[in-house]
A and B are shown apart, each in its own frame.
Chain A
């Protein structure tokens, strides 16, 4: 115990301060900390509430009385944003890309992490460190050639149009590849902690390596899979740079595959010209609420997933 305290470099040793008057002082501290926490909470919540409130106003109300409640809630702002603002399309695009991206990331990432964590073979370290090195390099380093590579893949006969620029699968594969370093790194450490005896027992019972992985190891790694799954959902949902570069429409006939992030920012520009502020706020509310609802429902897992995901 004492050893732990002295391990802290500047910990004081054996110099007790004078006994202090507890109640009064702590009351003040309590008041003080409540004050600061409330202030910061207000700074977070008020702009969000204000935006949601503005999404229910008319444009005139937004400009003339930005602070007051809407006289009557204008729900057609949402219809306008969803249809003529194309938020509906962007939303569906995002869900498609996210569903594909996160599913493949989890499957492929856990396979790689498992093999790298539990089997020794020549080249194991090289592959593992190649994945981990990807963690420190900024995406901007890859950006320009990546654009060219995806463009070139698009010229491959037959499958080209599905994985080239401005295609769902093309973007999904890029998401998967860029999510791999962290997923592999995180799950690698997780698979390593699982007990060896169970794996050995399974092999003795005649289970194949594949069965062992899917029936024994994956279920045991569930907490880790949930954490990194949430981490990937939020990471890929919020991705902005990759879709901006890779979903550029190739011609005016090309369909618009934009995801919410870039769609919303484009909307911010066009609605700015049209002064359709209420439509913009409605679009923003649509983009914001699903994640906030998921977060509030699963806040414990989301917080645990994101924080464990960052510092493991």
Chain B
């Protein structure tokens, strides 16, 4: 048997490992290498310039703005999404009538789970096209039309949404939250249902009402799911490429007046429009460092003892 083992192992691993090395490992490694060069992209020659690109990034106002904007999304987006998702999941599971058999899920909870999950199966391109018309800056957009109909907005001065430097990031935040909440609601809801009923019954017998039950039983038992969700949402907040290129003004997105530049679209523009591949690679490395930091910090902050049940 032994003599056929190694060829088998090698045969099964050959294709996946080769593909992985060519398309994933080697570009990652090359990015780090190119980030220390002045590679222009169109030629295949480049000079080693040490940390020159990184120094340039630190002096680049637009890139620094992009980092700040990503930080804004990184702080707010996961918090808002998780809070809303938790709230809706809680409403879904224990919002129903309570009786001697305990607290029940709300009526129609399975329908809500299907419907609220919709955004997760929509391609980001569809979300972009959809929100282009939701946030139209004249009175014909869905949101402006609604606000005008409600008398909250002057029909002659519709809200400028993505064209307003003050609102643009908040609108991006809104779109990100809109598309993320349903997924995490379903996730948290599944986790809530895996908590043994006896725990809730015990709490009910002890006379605990919904509020304390949620904060003292449900939340601690969901902690692990929440912390993983936090990391995943953080990765989404660090990306945002399709949304910012598709929804915000100026060529390649990031407008108005650089008010919504994100690292991802600045990187794309630097590489594929301006042809500064070396500099773009340095941005890629910076983004990867932020991602790793995020994962480490987040997992450390949210780390608690695992509760088995």
What chain B residues lie within 8 Å of A302 (beta carbons)?
121
Of A142, A203, A209, A311, which one neighbours B31 at CB under 8 angstroms?
Answer: A142
Distance in Å from the Cβ of B171 to the closest Cβ of chain A? 14
B91/A145 in contact, CB under 8 A = no
- B52-60, B72-80, B111-119, B156-164: which lies at the interface: B111-119
Given A138-B287, A287-B123, A303-B186, A145:B97 Cβ within 8 A:
no
Distance in Å from the Cβ of B106 to the closest Cβ of chain A? 5
Bound CA–CA A54/B228 (angstroms): 39
In the complex, which residue of chain B has the Cβ closest to the Cβ of A240?
B242
A173/B19 in contact, CB under 8 A = yes
Bound CA–CA A105/B141 (angstroms): 41
Bound CA–CA A26/B211 (angstroms): 12
Given A140-B267, A303-B113, A306-B183, A8:B123 Cβ within 8 A:
no
Bound CA–CA A294/B117 (angstroms): 13
In the assembled complex, B26 has its CB within 8 A of some CB on chain A: yes
**Quick one: which of B1-51 are within 8 Å of A by CB?**
1, 4-6, 8-9, 12-13, 15-17, 19-20, 22-28, 30-31, 34, 41
- A72-80, A189-197, A221-229, A258-266: which lies at the interface: A258-266
B120/A209 in contact, CB under 8 A = no
Given A184-B16, A203-B1, A307-B190, A136:B88 Cβ within 8 A:
no
Chain B 257-282 interface 0/1 with A at a Cβ cutoff of 8 Å (1 = within): 00000011001100110000100110
In the complex, which residue of chain A has the Cβ closest to the Cβ of B210?
A29
In the complex, which residue of chain B has the Cβ closest to the Cβ of A45?
B115
Given A51-B130, A140-B267, A177:B20 Cβ within 8 A:
yes
In the complex, which residue of chain B has the Cβ closest to the Cβ of A269?
B246
Given A44-B182, A145-B26, A9:B220 Cβ within 8 A:
yes
**Quick one: which of A159-208 are within 8 Å of B by CB?**
173-174, 176-178, 180-181, 184, 203, 208
Majority SS at the chain A contact face:
helix
In the assembled complex, B71 has its CB within 8 A of some CB on chain A: no
Of A67, A213, A292, which one neighbours B121 at CB under 8 angstroms?
Answer: A292
A303/B117 in contact, CB under 8 A = yes
What chain B residues lie within 8 Å of A264 (beta carbons)?
123, 125-126, 129
Bound CA–CA A265/B280 (angstroms): 24
In the assembled complex, B288 has its CB within 8 A of some CB on chain A: yes
Of A36, A116, A143, A209, which one neighbours B87 at CB under 8 angstroms?
Answer: A36
Given A51-B130, A310-B228, A141:B28 Cβ within 8 A:
yes
Distance in Å from the Cβ of A234 to the closest Cβ of chain B? 6
In the assembled complex, B68 has its CB within 8 A of some CB on chain A: no
Bound CA–CA A264/B206 (angstroms): 57
Given A67-B145, A240-B124, A141:B287 Cβ within 8 A:
yes
Of B116, B241, B304, which one neighbours A41 at CB under 8 angstroms?
Answer: B116
In the complex, which residue of chain B has the Cβ closest to the Cβ of A8?
B220
Bound CA–CA A180/B220 (angstroms): 33
What chain B residues lie within 8 Å of A209 (beta carbons)?
4-5, 8
B228/A145 in contact, CB under 8 A = no
What chain B residues lie within 8 Å of A142 (beta carbons)?
23-24, 27-28, 31, 284
Given A141-B284, A177-B23, A311-B187, A33:B106 Cβ within 8 A:
yes
What chain B residues lie within 8 Å of A148 (beta carbons)?
30, 41, 277
What chain A residues lie within 8 Å of B305 (beta carbons)?
7
Bound CA–CA A234/B91 (angstroms): 28
In the complex, which residue of chain A has the Cβ closest to the Cβ of B25?
A130
A45/B118 in contact, CB under 8 A = yes
Given A16-B206, A142-B28, A119:B5 Cβ within 8 A:
yes
What chain B residues lie within 8 Å of A36 (beta carbons)?
87-88, 91
B24/A240 in contact, CB under 8 A = no
Chain A 33-47 interface 0/1 with B at a Cβ cutoff of 8 Å (1 = within): 110110011011111
Bound CA–CA A46/B145 (angstroms): 13
Bound CA–CA A121/B6 (angstroms): 8
A291/B220 in contact, CB under 8 A = no
What chain A residues lie within 8 Å of B122 (beta carbons)?
238, 288, 291-292
Distance in Å from the Cβ of B28 to the closest Cβ of chain A? 5
In the assembled complex, B98 has its CB within 8 A of some CB on chain A: yes
Closest 4 CB pairs of A and B: A33-B95, A177-B23, A33-B91, A142-B27
Give me 5 A-to-B residue pairs in the complex whose CB atoms sit less than 8 angstroms apart, sorted by A's number: A9-B304, A33-B95, A115-B8, A245-B272, A268-B132
- The interface of chain B, by Cβ under 8 A from chain A, is 1, 4-6, 8-9, 12-13, 15-17, 19-20, 22-28, 30-31, 34, 41, 84, 87-88, 91-92, 95-99, 103, 106-107, 112-126, 128-134, 140-142, 145, 178, 181-183, 186-187, 190, 196, 198-199, 202-203, 206-210, 212, 215-217, 220-221, 225, 228-229, 232, 235, 238-239, 241-242, 246, 263-264, 267-268, 271-272, 277, 280-281, 283-285, 287-288, 291-292, 295, 304-305, 307, 309
- The interface of chain A, by Cβ under 8 A from chain B, is 1-2, 4-5, 7-12, 14, 16-20, 22, 26-27, 29-30, 32-34, 36-37, 40-41, 43-48, 50-51, 54, 62-63, 66-67, 108-109, 111-112, 114-116, 119, 121, 127, 130-131, 134, 136-138, 140-149, 153, 173-174, 176-178, 180-181, 184, 203, 208-210, 213, 234, 237-238, 240-241, 245, 260-262, 264-265, 268, 277, 280-281, 284, 287-288, 291-292, 294-296, 299, 302-303, 306-307, 310-311
